[in-house]
């Protein structure tokens, strides 16, 4: 039976009256706000986390380029990408880069995402635990390498992860002890929920469905607990719809300004009908060999153990979140086969649910216990352990990963059984030990997966280790600036890269891909020349590790294309077999 027992929770409500109770609430808010800010500062500047972690090419470059340059990229493309529809990311980041500069804009966005993550998790944890344990649980999530690796990636995954945690926190807000949300608060909470759902839809429709189903599961528990009347449910629904439409229409309006003449709904419908998502899969069962996927399983096991031994609202919510994450993902994979589990930047969208379920499960077995100063002493140990192991580059086997999962399950089971012990110091020692064991194991599983599948990847320890992602992005941006400066909005650019595609990561800034690529390998043959004529570009942008490769391809362009002399630049680049990536362009005119 799900427990409805009243628990002492922090009261964040406001009152204009100057009474001792109101002053106490203000004091509570001030302390929790200070702790939240401190955690945010530690994660942002205090642990050596990288601001730029890596790119999942070409997707990350698509997002970065559109966020920086807006419709200038689409205007010149043979086929504008549907990526411009990711307005939930492109909108705010474009505004930030336009007003504060490219690097400051991305940095501000990363800082804001981390603030959302830290605030959401800490607020959730404070519903059932002390400040010390809430601090530890917040650091457990915010120092996780999967979280930090995607918050520092210009693809929308990190933003979607932050938005998902905000959405789950809004659902949990209905579960505070004895609360039936009414009046203006009901409208505010419902409107905020609808707004976040619209934001998620404008980030990634798949993630919006995943997070939305998880939110619904949490709300069902909240409805069961509060037993609101029909009027309250209809009020919440009306507020949700209003908030959704306000944010959705607002982002559409912004899209119309930055991407004039483009239709969000038509673009989404058109591309959805054209894309065969199954073609983006190398192996539909590849997730069974993905070590990092064990973190999602770990979330379910920890929640299940808590639910078996402590059946209260928090353990139930943990189990619902973790099981919904797994079941939805597997069912969606069957209904619409796609890269949802194979591509790391899609698979990572399971992490908010998996990690938050662990937070709730540990909170479930700890709620009601007297706080201990021991936890504050253990918090620095947790930080050091998470960061130290976060640097790990050791690749693990599946059997080693399963041993780690088993160790976490055993630690959680012992801690759960010990919750009734009278020796509080020992019980709290087991709790914080479990947090550390699970946190460290998650880092090892994520960092130890290695490259798997067909997708451009980077190690998750990039959250803490500098792989010079910022320098690579700087080179990408400089090359794209040169291309835009030497072409006009009326041009149609076809893209050629070296046959090994080593410079495709640079070309991706101009939407490199099947729809925008010039034909040919090292040079054009007769069939390639006909294909190029049919494409009818006005510019060919050529990218290669060496100038000789570009010259060879350029020499094969027939005279009847009237190619202009090459205009070239180069940027320093790593990992392509030469110190520089070369980019040239030629204007052509098909006669």
pLDDT digits 0-9 by tens, 230-245: 888 899 999 999 999 9
Q: In sequence order, what are the residues at sequence separation of 6 or more whose Cβ sits closer than 8 angstroms to the Cβ of residue 298?
A: 354, 358, 405, 408, 409, 438, 441, 442, 445
pLDDT over threshold 50, residue 6: no
pLDDT over threshold 50, residue 178: no
Which ranges of 391-457 does DSSP label H, i.e. alpha helix? 398-417, 424-447
Confidence at residue 436, expressed as pLDDT on a 0 to 100 scale? 98
Of the given ranges (198-202, 275-279, 304-308), which has the lowest mean pLDDT? Answer: 275-279
In terms of Cβ atoms closer than 10 Å to its own Cβ (0-12, 13-18, 19+), residue 196 is: buried
Q: Which helix (H) or strand (E) holds 542?
A: strand 539-544
Q: Which helix (H) or strand (E) holds 149?
A: helix 145-151
Using DSSP, state whether 583 is helix, strand or coil: strand
- The chain-wide mean pLDDT, for the chain, equals 92
Confidence at residue 587, expressed as pLDDT on a 0 to 100 scale? 98
φ, ψ of residue 496 to 5 degrees: the values are -120, 135
For residue 18, name the pLDDT band (cuts at 50, 70, 90).
Answer: low
Rounded Cα gap, residues 161 and 370, in angstroms: 32
Confidence at residue 225, expressed as pLDDT on a 0 to 100 scale? 87
pLDDT over threshold 90, residue 374: no
Average pLDDT over residues 47-58: 94
Using DSSP, state whether 284 is helix, strand or coil: coil
β-pair partners for 517? 495
Average pLDDT over residues 15-22: 64
Which H, E and C letters describe 340-402, residue by residue? CCCCHHHHHHHHHHHHHHHHHHHHHHHCCCCCCCHHHHHHHHHHHHHHHHHCCCCCCCHHHHH
């Amino acid at each position: 039976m799900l427990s409805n027992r009243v628990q002492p929770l922090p009261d964040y409500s406001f009152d204009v009256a100057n009474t001792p109770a109101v002053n106490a609430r203000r004091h509570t808010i001030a302390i929790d706000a200070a702790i939240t800010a401190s955690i945010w500062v530690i994660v942002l500047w205090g642990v050596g986390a990288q601001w730029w972690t890596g790119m999942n090419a070409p997707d990350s470059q698509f997002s970065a380029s559109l966020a920086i340059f807006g419709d200038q990229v689409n205007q010149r493309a043979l086929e504008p990408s549907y990526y411009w529809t990711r307005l939930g990311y492109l909108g705010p980041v474009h505004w930030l880069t336009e007003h504060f500069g490219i690097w400051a804009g991305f940095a501000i966005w990363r800082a804001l995402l981390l603030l959302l993550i830290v605030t959401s998790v800490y607020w959730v944890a404070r519903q059932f635990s002390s400040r010390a344990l809430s601090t530890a649980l917040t650091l457990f999530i915010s120092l996780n390498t999967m979280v930090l690796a995607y918050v520092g990636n210009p693809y929308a995954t990190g933003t979607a992860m932050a938005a998902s945690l905000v959405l789950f926190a809004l659902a949990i807000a209905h579960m505070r002890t004895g609360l039936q949300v009414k009046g203006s608060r009901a409208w505010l909470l419902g409107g905020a929920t609808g707004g976040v759902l619209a934001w998620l839809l404008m980030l990634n429709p798949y993630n919006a469905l995943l997070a939305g189903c998880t939110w619904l599961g949490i709300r069902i528990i909240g409805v069961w607990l509060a037993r609101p009347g029909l009027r309250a449910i209809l009020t919440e629904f009306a507020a949700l719809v209003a908030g959704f439409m306000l944010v959705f229409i607002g982002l559409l309006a912004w899209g119309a300004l930055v991407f004039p003449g483009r239709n969000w709904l038509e673009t989404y419908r058109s591309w959805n009908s054209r894309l065969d998502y199954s073609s983006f899969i190398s192996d539909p069962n590849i997730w069974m060999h993905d070590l990092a996927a064990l973190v999602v399983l770990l979330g379910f096991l920890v929640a299940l153990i808590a639910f078996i031994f402590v059946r209260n609202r928090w353990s139930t919510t943990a189990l619902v979140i973790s099981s919904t994450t797994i079941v939805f993902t597997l069912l969606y994979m069957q209904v619409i086969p796609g890269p949802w589990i194979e591509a790391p930047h899609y698979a990572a969208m399971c992490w908010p649910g998996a990690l938050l379920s662990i937070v709730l499960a540990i909170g479930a077995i700890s709620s009601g216990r007297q706080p201990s100063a021991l936890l504050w002493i253990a918090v620095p140990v947790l930080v050091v352990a998470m960061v130290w192991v976060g640097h790990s580059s050791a690749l693990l086997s599946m059997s080693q990963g399963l041993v780690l999962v088993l160790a976490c399950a055993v630690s959680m089971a012992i801690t759960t059984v010990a919750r009734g012990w009278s020796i509080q110091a020992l019980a709290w020692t087991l709790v914080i030990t479990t947090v550390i064991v699970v946190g460290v194991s998650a880092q090892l599983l994520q960092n130890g997966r290695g490259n798997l599948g067909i997708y451009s990847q980077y190690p998750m320890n990039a959250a803490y280790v500098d792989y010079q992602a910022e320098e690579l992005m700087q080179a990408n941006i400089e090359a794209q600036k040169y291309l835009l400066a030497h072409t006009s909005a009326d041009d149609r650019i076809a893209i050629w890269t070296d046959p090994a595609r080593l410079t495709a990561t640079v070309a991706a800034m101009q939407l490199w891909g099947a729809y925008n690529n010039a034909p040919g390998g090292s040079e054009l043959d007769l069939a390639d020349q006909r294909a190029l004529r049919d494409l009818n570009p006005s510019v060919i942008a050529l990218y290669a590790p060496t100038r000789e490769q570009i010259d060879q391809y350029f020499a094969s362009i027939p005279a009847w294309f009237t190619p202009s002399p090459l205009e070239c630049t180069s940027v320093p680049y790593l990992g392509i077999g030469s110190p520089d990536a070369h980019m040239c362009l030629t204007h052509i005119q098909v006669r």
